Amino acid sequence: MDALTTATESELVKRLQQGGRAAFEELLDRYERRIYNLALRLLDGHRAEAEDAAQDIFLEVHRSISRFRGDSRLDTWIHRIAVNVCLQRRRKRKLSTVELKDADGVHSPDGDPILSAQSAVKSLPDGQREVVLLHGMQGLSYSEVAEVLACPVGTVKSRLSTAFRRLRETLTPYVNGDPTLGPAVVEAGK
């Protein structure tokens, strides 16, 4: 879309609140891929569930747009809905988080560092994984992440610091060139 056809955020919100179909299509064009990718990461790579979640997210956006007051940016508000929908889904299927000390499958069998990094992020506790995904992968600022997760900025920074420390510990063998080593070896070497 060029600058002439792209509505500003406030114009888009106004058109959405008036029920315009074209406005909702524009919203989907802007956010659908990013929200699907966020849902995919929050739901541990389950594609079908992420697709269903993305639909639920945009249905909730459509239902709730009349209550959007503009206190935050539209994308921050949508991210908050996305996180809430995904957390509800995780609770419903009672996904257990894997503690790093028990994460036998953190390293990739073929030594692929990308798969290992994805697995390491998945193994983080929910709160830490959420801040890594929102800040590190979605590019939200500390204050935007805090708003999405309804927690203080200090909590976001603390969770991010702890998550990065855990990821560093888990992925150190890959940086040092030995992908056959797991987190237990890193812990033993301290």
Q: For the chain, what are the domain ranges?
A: 7-95, 98-190
Mean of pLDDT values over 97-116? 50
In this predicted structure, the answer to whether residue 33 has a pLDDT above a threshold of 90 is yes
Say which residue the tokens 């990821």 belong to: 167
98: DSSP letter: P
Q: What is the CA radius of gyration of the chain?
A: 19
Would you list the DSSP string of 16-52?
A: HHTT-HHHHHHHHHHHHHHHHHHHHHHTTT-HHHHHH
Burial class (CB in 10 A: 0-12, 13-18, 19+), 55: middle
Residue 157: predicted pLDDT: 93
pLDDT band at 29; cut points 50, 70, 90 = very high
Burial class (CB in 10 A: 0-12, 13-18, 19+), 31: buried
Q: What's this model's pTM, rounded to 2 decimal places?
A: 0.63
Tens of pLDDT, residues 146-159: 988 889 999 999 99
Tell me which fold the domain 98-190 belongs to: Arc Repressor Mutant, subunit A (1.10.10)
Residue 107 in contact with residue 182, Cβ under 8 Å? Answer: yes
Can you read off the two tokens belonging to residue 147?
A: 């708003």
Residue 74 in contact with residue 144, Cβ under 8 Å? Answer: no
Mean of pLDDT values over 165-174? 82
Do you know the residue count of the chain?
190
Mean of pLDDT values over 135-150? 86
The SS3 call for residue 44 is: coil
Residue 80 in contact with residue 71, Cβ under 8 Å? Answer: no
Can you read off the two tokens belonging to residue 168?
A: 């560093």
- Residue 137, Cα to own-chain centre: how many angstroms? 7
Can you read off the two tokens belonging to residue 159?
A: 């969770």
* CATH of segment(s) 7-95: 1.10.1740.10
